[in-house]
Amino acid sequence: MKKKRDFTKTNNNKISIKSKYDDFKNELQIITDIKNEYCLTCEGIITNYDEVYIIYEYMENDSILKFDEYFFVVDKKYTCFIPIQVIKCIIKSVLNSFSYIHNEKIFCHRDVKPSNILMDKNGRVKLSDFGESEYMVDKKIKGSRVNNK
């Protein structure tokens, strides 16, 4: 689900919409099951004939990739000017989301990267994009390898 569009509800609350792609049944199952403050919330699903739209809560600050504006090249090396407290907050939130999805929901995200870590206007960080996620069956929980494509 790569296409994203912003949409405004009638009560002026912004939400984010992802449009359908070929195989997202697994993501639908997972996102409708997630109820955690560290994971992006599914607000609803809209179907229109052969199209399906997933409605997510709106994260004003987009992904933490936006932080690249805080990186500067000094002597051909990247120097980070992101406050350590912000970095700690991001790490703590991501680890809390992992704890929830691994221990309570028993699935593996499989696509954790900066573009899938979102931040709202209040600085709350949430894990998103569960399209590659997979529920873990007993065989995989016991240590067999997950195919990373």
pTM: 0.70
Lowest mean pLDDT among 11-15, 82-86, 136-140: 136-140
pLDDT (0 to 100) of residue 36 = 92
| Count of Cβ atoms closer than 10 Å to residue 6 Cβ | 9
Distances from the Cα of 102 to the Cα of 58, 66, 96, 99, 126, angstroms? 24, 27, 10, 5, 15
Average pLDDT over residues 46-55: 84
pLDDT (0 to 100) of residue 118 = 94
Active site residues: 111
Confidence at 38, pLDDT banded by 50, 70, 90? very high
Task: Please state which CATH number belongs to domain 4-141.
Answer: 1.10.510.10
CB 26 within 8 A of CB 133: yes
Confidence at 142, pLDDT banded by 50, 70, 90? low
pLDDT (0 to 100) of residue 1 = 41
Q: What are the tens digits of pLDDT across the range 57-116?
A: 999 888 888 776 655 555 566 666 677 888 899 999 999 999 998 888 778 888 899 899
Token code pair at residue 87:
């970095």
- Nearest-10 Cα torsion for 64, 66, 72, 78: 40
Position 50 pLDDT exceeds 80: no
Sign of dihedral through CA atoms 98, 132, 44, 58? positive
